[in-house]
Amino acid sequence: MADPMRIRAQVAGDKATVRVLMSHEMETGLRRDGAGALIPAWFIQEVSAAHNGKTVLNAQWGPSVAKNPFMQFSVRGAKAGDKITVMWKDNKGDSRTDEATVS
């Protein structure tokens, strides 16, 4: 089970800025271990975000995204107290969903 994400969502004017930190190895599949064997690729493939249950962001990621990725986006019309849900799914089928309240 993956570690939880850290999600911060703050209102600024008519939109909210959402900052997400994800805990993930993000192996490219190109590196080799000490014995020379290829380390299998393991990375987040799908990311989505929802504002009060309505999807506002969909992304497809690849192996070039760094370890422990940071993602930032704005949601127009979000108000304090609204719920922001972020979901990721990796190429091994593992996934994680976390929720934050806009402040």
Partner 1 sequence: MKTASLCAGLLALAGMALAGPLAAQTKSAADGIAEYRAMLADGNPAELFEARGQELWKTKRGPKNADMSQCDLGKGPGVVKGAFVELPRWFADTQKVQDLESRLLTCMTTLQGIEAKAVTEERFGRGEQRHMEGLVAWISAESRGMKMNLPQSHAQEKLSYEIGKRAFFYRGGTHDFSCASCHSAEGQRIRLQDLPNLTKNPGDGVGFAAWPAYRVSSGELWGMQRRLNDCFRQQRFPYPGYASDVTIALGTYMGVNAKGAASIAPSIKR
- Which residues of the chain form contacts with partner 1 (CB under 8 A)? 3-4, 6, 19, 21, 23, 59, 61, 65-74
C-beta of 19: minimal distance to partner 1 in Å?
6
C-beta of 71: minimal distance to partner 1 in Å?
5
Q: Which residues contact 80 (CB under 8 A, 6 or more apart)?
A: 11, 102, 103
* CB nearer to partner 1: pick between 69 and 85: 69
| 85 half-sphere exposure, CB direction, 13 A CA radius | 9
C-beta of 51: minimal distance to partner 1 in Å?
14
Q: Quick check: 86 and 48 in contact, CB under 8 A?
A: yes
